[in-house]
Structure 1
Amino acid sequence: MSHQTHRHNREGPCHFSLMSLSAIKRLLLVALPLLMLWALVLWAGGWL
């Protein structure tokens, strides 16, 4: 059985990083799901 070691990329992070996105994209990535959740709550509560 061969075992391959995991090697990190020296030029950048190995995994997806929020800090690699622009500030606007980070804000949208956080705000959009929250807005959708609030819309769902309001709709389910009969306020919309």
Structure 2
Amino acid sequence: MAHRHHHRPDGPCHFSLMSLSTYRRLLMAAAPLALLWLAVAWAMGAWR
């Protein structure tokens, strides 16, 4: 039995824009954490 999805004409473009904004938001949220982790790793290396 074939499973079919019915998309609106603007579906794929809207989905790509939405996923891009989600990726950008995730990057913006992860950047400070990555910087903090790098700072901690650098401090641990400096204290050794």
- Which of these two proteins has the greater Rg computed from alpha carbons? 2
TM-score w.r.t. the length of structure 1 is 0.48
Greater share of residues in helix: 2
- TM norm structure 2: 0.48
